[in-house]
A = this chain, B = another copy of it.
Amino acid sequence: MKELEERINKDGRVLGKDVLKVDSFLNHQIDPVLMDKMGNEFYQHFKDSGITKVLTVESSGIAPAVMTGLKFEVPVVFARKHKSITLKDDLYTSEVYSFTKKTANHISIAKKYLSADDKVLIIDDFLANGQAVNGLNDIIKDAGASLAGIGIVIEKSFQKGRQLIDKAGIPIYSLARIKAFDNGQVVFEPEND
C-alpha cells in the first residue's frame, strides 16, 4: 500500500536494529482516515473468503480491525492481555511471548464470541516473530473455528513470523513489508499486488 509506505518513510522512526516506531499514526496517535483506507485494502483482498469475524489483540490492533470489520459488516473481537490469568471456564486463553519486552502475556477471548461456524480474519498492527498471530490461532483452533486469513499493517519480513505463516499455508496480506532497516532507513519489499 503505497500511501502507507510513504507515511512510514515520512513519520516512522527506526530505533536500533529492528524497531520501527509509528506512534504518530498507528500505535498511540491514530490517523483514522488512513485506518479507513487500510480497512478497505483488507476488505478488497479477503472479500471472497467468507469472513464472519475479525479477531485482533488490544490495544494497537483495534483501530485497523474495527475499520476492517466495518467494510465486511461483521463483528470484531479483541483479545484482552493479562500479565497472569486464572483459568476460567468461559474463556479461551493462550500465551504470547513478546521478544521486544521480553515478557509473556496471556491473551483471552470469551468463548461465546467465537464459534465453530466462524471463518476468522486476524488483523494486527505488526508482524515480527508471529507470537500474537500464533496465540490467536491457538484460540481459533480451541474454538473449532477456521482461520481464513491474516491481515497485517506492517510486516518486518526479516523476522520469522512471515516465514512461519507461509509454511503453514495460511493466506496472509501485509500492507507494508519491510525487508530491512539500512542505516535508519526503511527498505521495503517490492509490492506484489
A-side residues, CB < 8 A to B, are 23-25, 28-33, 35-36, 58-59, 62-63, 66-67, 69-70, 73-78, 80, 109-110, 112-113
Q: List 23 A-B contacts (CB under 8 A).
A: A23-B110, A24-B113, A25-B75, A28-B78, A28-B80, A28-B110, A29-B76, A30-B66, A30-B75, A31-B75, A32-B69, A32-B70, A32-B74, A32-B76, A36-B70, A58-B58, A58-B59, A59-B62, A59-B78, A59-B80, A62-B62, A63-B66, A66-B67
Would you call A113 and B76 a contact (CB within 8 A)?
no
The 4 closest A-B pairs by CB, nearest first: A32-B69, A32-B70, A58-B59, A30-B76
CA distance A36 to B59 in the complex (A): 19
A78, A80, A109 — most chain B CB neighbours (10 Å): A78
Residue of B nearest to A28 (CB): B110
Q: Which residues of B contact A23 (CB under 8 A)?
A: 110
Would you give the shortest CB distance from A110 to chain B, in whole angstroms? 6
Would you call B113 and A69 a contact (CB within 8 A)?
no
Would you give the shortest CB distance from A86 to chain B, in whole angstroms? 15
Would you give the shortest CB distance from A33 to chain B, in whole angstroms? 6
Would you call B36 and A77 a contact (CB within 8 A)?
no
CA distance A33 to B35 in the complex (A): 15
Would you call A77 and B29 a contact (CB within 8 A)?
yes
